[in-house]
Structure 1
């Protein structure tokens, strides 16, 4: 918990940071600027799993009246249309014009059902490809043995291949031509028709067959990436034991269980819904949420999360979140939204592809025309080389590998209890230069205890604690909770409770038994212009303060009017792994600093325990914000807090990290949320960022190398059409599989 407000300053401002969504439709506004009257609907488009289809849809729909913005989720084949009274019939008509069909989705279950239906039909795609493959191989062998590639038998075999597995590609090529879209299907169509025109029937058959195989393999690879997100949802069971009116238990669909109902979780079962234990105790494995496989002991009154594994006892749980609102569902939704955004590398690849393909296409045309006209080369050879270049012009391997790699990185992080809200943060983390940490609840456990109460007047220490706890009776701040836990006496009734904030003085004021009381930090006491306390000289008070603060205590001042009555010293323990996590960050070359609203001596003691050499104390929220801005001038800067009281600094930092421990607020306010209060998640997230960047670099470098090699081979006449297709398709498959390797990464 942030200490920029003391226990007496309890207004927590939960400010949700704006959603950072990349709208890929040119000329349309970003989501944050959409009018309040805007609506949206989602369409499942089975034919949309590549930027090729995205470009067609974008061109077809962006000019429709009422369409405000488009979001493309290629991994899950979902298009979100933001609109104002857009005509659904017109949208479906435009989609049909691109050869695609959209099915409107109303919930997550619909997505699962559609995925199941597609899986059941997928086998239908294999037999035509198998038939076409036999014909293509036969044509190639006959052509090689006979030396006559224009024979009627070879032409018929090639036509058999084209008709059995090439019709979808040719249809898409025709649609692309009608929409003036230079995509892979148009390039392949041109290559196949061109090969038949110059009598290269076996080549035409082999090209269309290899391309069909490549599309099937790519679809299977993308299906695995798609299942990454669905796998997060599937960790919670689909059925739940629900208590009936007569006390019996009945298995019902999890989605039908309402808030407040009692459910039963047997040993060995997974928890279906978030809830509070009403009866029983058990060891719970919360790896689905926190990424930590060590079981946690749970008892009556404790919270359990959907997807967790009940390892021992029988539990009765009162439901606190329906299926769509569980922490597991929120994590899955955050990852799904994050992978729909374009990461920096993906934006670069898209820009490169937009230039690369037209340039190579123009070069292919020039290669087909200029050598015969200017150098007296044969038209056949020139056209053949141009057709090879058309195949090489496809940037699929480059474009498709990036989103698969990014979603794998996001899913890997989610499995380890790290929820990253966008690919941009996944990529930026490895470049961080400075990370600023809040103290309470981040470096420390956030569970302070009252260490000592010092009376400075006539009232006893017990009375001082009672007065202080009474002022804080309705606060949820950790310091207030510590006072309430320590107070054994009945609380007094405090009225006219209000926050005290003047300059650096922060606290709370209230009236008890007709007298005004104030509880807050030292600056509050000074702002009240307290006179010398009876029985204690200022020098003695300073000595008392020094003694308490040197022991890393947070000291609160209790005043009656402007008279100081006593001091309350509270201490928070440093988190078990804070020092090790910070040392690991420092070994990575990242500067670590602490920003706290606590006093200088307490801050110095905590910083020393955590291994931080630079800290700033007694900071107001605005000063924390300014500090983040200053550090940001020297490089990428992150802020790590609790996600509740650090909203301004978290929002200003390049990356905001929140210690969540299952908190809804942290998921809303931070760019990255750690679902377990363990700072070791931070260097782990940076390692995932580094690993993701490494694989992205490998994929881009390999894809470009293959392109340039075959570009040279095509120009010199040493590459065949089927070799180019094989290289292009093989590269696409390899980079996708390489991206999926992230899921098998070890810690």
Structure 2
């Protein structure tokens, strides 16, 4: 846990040693478990400490369930395993019992999958090879299936082809045709059979066993065409599943391509050379020409230009850069030539952090995703039992034909295949996470994709959120015989070592006025109050009017000055020494031009309560809130008061968000259902702290986030509905004896294609600048 400095937004500097503790909140956050197999973390191994393995064939929660049941018991429990499905990675946590890598590899092999110790460089190669193998076997199965179908057409004509769909009836299928369909069956189940056998040995039915039983049953009935069709289409559906996971993985990997692989480094003798970015050390100078992508995070030391930061922040306008400004890997220098000093290694850049976090984000699974996994795991064995009942009871009790009811039981098994249902959510979640990252909104997991769409209350800070966060000294009021120069010199002396926005405003004013500032001695922060120090042997202080009252100098502040400052919505900063108040500074932070419109958008989106939590004085806070349309103001709050306010909101509303800078408001963000950090592009701590990080300080991304969340959940619900409706239709057809095995599996594959295509629409994102109006239907916005 890192110490995070908290500074009040009213000039009262406070330090709160807190961190974003997820264990203290998120009561509604779903447990990240492996779909009902115990407390298994679907966490990326970059976060989970232990030994990682590349598992070929690990494509969805179905395989996670298999691995937890086979490997988990050997480790002392499934809680010692973690999974990263998108990257096909399994991690044996350090908490596990003693077991060698070879033993783990052998255990995985018994499931029909293969494993080897994790190697990041080889992982993508292994994944590509696995997908290639699936593609080869699927195409071979499809090729022989088509050849068998073609043979039948040539022999019997199109009328005979229609007869093939209805079964051969009394006529025997020719041996060449049987052989072609047999080859289609063999290639179709080649990769499925080991998993199905493992499932049968464990007496734990899954969709692999379910399909293999259906294929075997069709062969027993002599329905070779049906068996081949089921085998081919099931193989195709598994290939589609792997392809869709790979597509989502590639979308994340595409972020990595934003940063060029080399940097043009300036050597000690002044010459230049292209060096791999991974080899560039901190402190090295490199050149960025106009039109080039920036290879590393750094600070401009020479030159001027305008940088396109959209790949990181999602903002469309070019950002001017000159000496002293920060630049980020993956952004584009639009004009001019910059000399940049590398401040971070390639692996530590903001872009690298975003890539890792997006890649790992699916570890926190959305509630709907867990529901789908659990549902699929429960209903599959139920359907298998129901199929046995259908195959046995009607012939025994009603004298029905064994072949007829056995066939209908097989059709039911095929219908139960949960492929489309299982892949409907994870692909949607990863696509949504990737799209949001492209828009400059970093979401930490599936659980937080779902939350914004259900937000009912938002608490936000004032400075840097509703206001620009760049205050300026609007007026000086010297008192007790002091001059403006005396006042600025004293205030500057106390703020000389601070980077707080108010401190920068005071120091900037002193510099413009030509006031020489000498830092005060022994300065210290008084939590929730202000600053104290020593200057020329005297005790000096700076803070709010409340701090002045505690010092015993509250009456020194003229009431007319206090009223004038508060009515203007400005911030009052009192400066004094051990004798009294030297003077008053009026600091004004401009309200964001679009703040009122954004608050109206949030209300239109169904956010019923927007509350400002600020340490500023009440009159100033109310003035700002009234101007932008905020519902409620709680002012003059200490950090612990903000926490109390959030706890009250959490008790009242189903979903509460806290918007702050990710560091200063960490305790309050920790108590909300989810926290949103503003302006995270320049702050590693902000990226680490919040559940959602806005890479810029643009609060306009919050309405976009809510719309994006609702669009994502809408697509997931559409996919679930389509999948279940299709299955319900074929269950009904089966009850009337109208369904066929090939029809059921073809429908399931068709639905798989539909849900994958629907989910991948999220990769396109939506218009970051679009904003709902109060009259616009939310469905259209979503």
- In which range does the TM-score fall when normalised by the shorter chain? over 0.9
1:22 matched to 2:32? The reply is yes
| Partner of residue 720, structure 2 | 700
Distance, in Å, in 1 between the alignment partners of 2:38 and 2:748 is: 32
Corresponding residue to 1:226 among 239, 242, 249: 249
Structure 2: which 5+ runs fail to align? 24-28, 768-782
- TM-score for both structures, normalised by structure 1: 0.93
Q: CA deviation at 1:46?
A: 2.3
* 1:742 correspondence with 2:754: no
| Whole-Å separation in 1 of the counterparts to 2:17 and 2:759 | 40
Q: Tell me, yes or no, if the aligned pair for 2:476 and 2:584 is still in contact at 8 Å.
A: yes
Q: Distance in 1 between matches of 2:132 and 2:193?
A: 25
Q: What is the root-mean-square deviation of aligned Cα atoms in Å?
A: 2.5
Structure 2 Cα separation of the partners of residues 245 and 456 of structure 1: 56
Q: Would you say 1:137 and 2:149 are equivalent positions?
A: yes
Distance in 2, matches of 1:234 and 1:121, equals: 26
Query: Which of residues 491, 515, 523 is equivalent to 1:497?
Result: 523
> 1:139 Cα shift?
6.4
Alpha-carbon separation, structure 2, partners of 1:684 and 1:728: 34
Gaps of 5+ in 1: none
Alignment of 1:410-421 (within 5 A): 410-421=433-444
User: Following superposition of structure 1 onto structure 2, how do residues 188-207 of structure 1 map, counting pairs within 5 Å?
Assistant: 188-207=211-230
CA contact (8 A) 1:307 1:328 kept: yes
- Residue in structure 2 matched with residue 377 of structure 1 by the alignment: 400
Where in structure 2 are the equivalents of 1:542-581 lying within 5 Å? 542-561=559-578, 563-581=580-598
CA contact (8 A) 2:487 2:582 kept: yes
Within 1, Cα distance between the matches of 2:6 and 2:268?
A: 45
Note if 1:676 corresponds to 2:696: yes
1:536-575 deviations in whole A, cap 9, x for unaligned? xx7xx11111112211211111121252221111111112
Do 1:17 and 1:668's aligned partners in 2 also have CA atoms closer than 8 Å? no
Moved more, 209-218 or 2-11: 2-11
Given the alignment, which residue of 635, 638, 644 partners 2:663?
A: 644
Shift of 1:119: 6.6
**Secondary structure, counterpart of 1:439 in structure 2:** coil
687-696 or 75-84, which deviates more: 75-84
Q: Return the alpha-carbon distance in structure 2 between the equivalents of residues 257 and 113 of structure 1.
A: 26
Partner of 2:535 in structure 1? Answer: 512
Secondary structure of 1:311 counterpart: strand
1:327-346 aligned at under 5 Å gives the runs 327-346=350-369
> What is the aligned partner in structure 1 of residue 617 from structure 2?
599
1:286 aligns with 2:312: no
Contact (CA 8 Å) 1:434, 1:638: kept in 2 or not?
yes
2-structure distance, mates of 1:525, 1:492: 23
- Return the alpha-carbon distance in structure 2 between the equivalents of residues 485 and 10 of structure 1: 22
Q: Which residue of 1 aligns with 2:419?
A: 396
Query: 1:294-353, CA deviations, whole angstroms, 9 ceiling, x for partnerless residues?
Result: 221211221111111122222221111222211111112111221232111011112211
**Tell me, what secondary structure is at the counterpart of 2:192?**
helix
Q: Give per-residue Cα distances to partners, 1:226-259, cap 9 Å, x unaligned.
A: 2111111121112222223332222222222221
- How has the CA–CA distance of structure 1 residues 700 and 127 changed in structure 2, closer, same or farther, with 3 Å as cutoff? closer
Match status 1:9 vs 2:13 = yes
Alignment pair present for 1:63 and 2:81: no
Work out the CA distance in 2 between the residues paired with 1:392 and 1:385: 10
Farther-moved stretch of structure 1 (674-683 vs 391-400):
391-400
Aligned to 1:301: 324
Residue 430 of structure 1 and its aligned partner are, at CA, apart by 1.2
Aligned residue for 2:74, secondary structure, equals: coil
Query: In structure 1, the residue corresponding to 2:490 is in which secondary structure?
Result: helix
Q: Distance in 2 between matches of 1:122 and 1:168?
A: 8
Q: How far did 1:532 drift?
A: 4.8
Partner of 1:51: 61
Given candidates 186, 201, 209, the residue that maps to 1:186 is 209
1:490 Cα deviation after fit: 2.5
Question: Partner of 1:102: helix, strand, or coil?
Answer: strand
More displaced, 688-697 or 79-88? 79-88
Report the Cα distance in structure 2 between the residues aligned to 1:611 and 1:6, rounded to whole angstroms: 21
Q: CA deviation at 1:51?
A: 2.2
8 Å Cα contact 1:454/1:461 also seen in 2: yes
Compute the displacement of 1:696 (Å).
1.0
Displacement after TM superposition at 1:207 (Å) = 1.5
Label 1:335 to 1:602 Cα distance change in 2 as closer, same or farther (>3 A).
Answer: same
In structure 2, the CA distance between the partners of 1:314 and 1:121, relative to structure 1 (3 Å rule), is farther
1:12-60 residue CA offsets vs partner (Å, 9 max, x unmatched): 646244488724284457699x9x9x94132222211022221111111
User: Which residue does the alignment assign to 2:102?
Assistant: 89
CA distance in 2, matches of 1:122, 1:288: 34
> CA separation in 1, counterparts of 2:135 and 2:750?
22
- Counterpart among 61, 73, 76 of residue 84 in structure 2: 73
Q: Is the 8 A contact 1:149 1:202 kept in 2?
A: no
CA change 1:223–1:435 in 2 (3 A) is same
Task: Name which of 672, 696, 700 aligns with 1:653.
Answer: 672
Residue of structure 2 equivalent to 1:480: 503
Contact 1:258 1:322 in 2 (8 A): yes
Q: 2:384, 2:554 → 1: CA distance?
A: 85
Q: TM-score, normalised by structure 2?
A: 0.89
The 8 Å contact of residues 358 and 444 in structure 2, kept in 1 or not, is answered as yes
Cα distance, 1:726–1:576 mapped onto 2, change above 3 Å = same
Q: Per the alignment, do residues 500 and 211 of structure 1 end up closer, same or farther by CA in structure 2, a change over 3 Å counting?
A: closer
1:612-623 correspondence runs (5 A): 612-623=630-641
Distance in structure 2 (CA, Å) of the matches to 1:139 and 1:376: 38
Please say if 1:629 is aligned against 2:647.
yes
Maintained 8 Å contact 2:14/2:526: no
Structure 1 pair 375–548 and aligned structure 2 pair: CA distance change class (3 A) = same
Q: Are 2:679 and 1:667 equivalent residues in the alignment?
A: no
Q: Is the 8 A contact 2:657 2:675 kept in 1?
A: yes
- Whole-angstrom distance in 1 between the partners of 2:740 and 2:12: 77
User: Deviation string for 1:141-187 (max 9, x for gaps)?
Assistant: 46737752454333322222222333222232222212323112111
Q: Which stretch shifts more, 451-460 or 110-119?
A: 110-119
Aligned residues of 2:618 and 2:636 also touching (Cα < 8 A): yes
Rounded to whole Å, the distance in 2 between the matches of 1:161 and 1:531 is 89
Question: How far, CA to CA, are the matches of 1:518 and 1:391 in structure 2?
Answer: 78
Question: Would the aligned equivalents of 1:2 and 1:439 in 2 still touch at CA under 8 Å?
Answer: no
Residues 654-693 of structure 1, C-alpha deviations (whole Å, 9 max, x = no match): 1211102402121111111101111110000000011011
Does the C-alpha gap of structure 1 residues 248 and 471 become closer, same or farther in structure 2, counting only changes over 3 Å? same
CA distance in 1, matches of 2:670, 2:555: 43
Question: Secondary structure of 2:259's match?
Answer: coil
Q: Deviations over 1:45-94 (max 9, x none)?
A: 22110222211111111112367532222222222221245422221111
Distance 2:382 2:128 in 1: 41
